[in-house]
Structure 1
Amino acid sequence: MIHVESALKFYRVMAYIVGVMLLLLCVAMVVKYGFDNDTMVAIVGPIHGFLYMIYLAGALNLGLKTRWPIGYLLLVLLAGTIPLLSFVMERSVRDRVRKILPATA
C-alpha cells in the first residue's frame, strides 16, 4: 500500500499546482481580452498545459492503483480543466483513497 500512499501524495501536490495555475490562466484570459495584453497568457498557458499533462499521469497512476470506476477516473482527469474543480476533487480523491488504506499507528 506504500505505492498508493506515494501516488496519492503526488496526485495531491499536482492537483493543487494545476488548480492554482488554472486560476492564474483565468486571470491571464481576463487581462488578454479585457486589457488587450496577451503576454500573461503566453507565459501561463504553456506552463499550465505542461503541468496538466503531469497531473494526468499522476491521476491515472493513482486511479489504476486504486481501481477507480472509469466514470470517476474521467472526472478526476478533467478536474484540471475546470476552475476550482481540482481542489474539490482532491478532497474527494483523498477521502476515497484513505478509506481503502489500512490505518497507520
Structure 2
Amino acid sequence: MFEPASNLTTEQNTALKTLTIIGYLEGTSFLLLLCIAMPLKYMMDIPEGVKYIGMAHGGLFIAYIVVLMGTAVKIKMPIWAIPAGVLGSFLPFGPFIFDHWLKKSLKKSKKVF
C-alpha cells in the first residue's frame, strides 16, 4: 500500500503515508455509502445505513481535505495537484486514482515535485 519515496524526507513520507491512509478510508466510505447504504435506503426502506455511514464519510471527507492541504505544503505539490485531489474525493474511486497518480509522479521525478 505504501512504499516510501527515496527522494522525500521522513516528515514528507509520513505526510504522504497519512494522506494515503485517509484517502483509502474516505474512498472506501464513499463506496460503502453508494453501493450499500443508499440501495438499502431506497430499495428496502432501511435508512440507518445512510445515517451512520454518511456521518462517517462526512468526517473522513473533511479529514481528507485537511490532510491533503497539509501534505501539499509539506511535499511542495504544484498548485494544480490540489484541485485534482479535491476533485478525486467527489468521484467514486477518485482517492485511489489520485493516490496512484501522486505516487507515480513522485517516482518519476528526482526532486520533490
Task: State the TM-score, normalized to the length of structure 1.
Answer: 0.85
30-39 or 5-14, which deviates more: 30-39
The structure, 1 or 2, with the larger RCO (C-alpha pairs under 8 Å, 6+ apart) is: 1
Tell me which residue corresponds to 1:10.
Answer: 18
Q: Which runs of 5+ in 1 are unaligned?
A: none
- Report the aligned-residue RMSD: 1.5
- Give the structure with the higher percent helix: 1
Tell me which residue corresponds to 1:68.
Answer: 77
Percent identity reads: 25
70-79 or 40-49, which deviates more: 70-79
Deviations 1:8-58 (A, max 9, x none): 010011111111111101021121112222110000001011011111111
Tell me which residue corresponds to 2:56.
Answer: 47
Task: State the TM-score, normalized to the length of structure 2.
Answer: 0.80
Q: Which runs of 5+ in 2 are unaligned?
A: 1-8
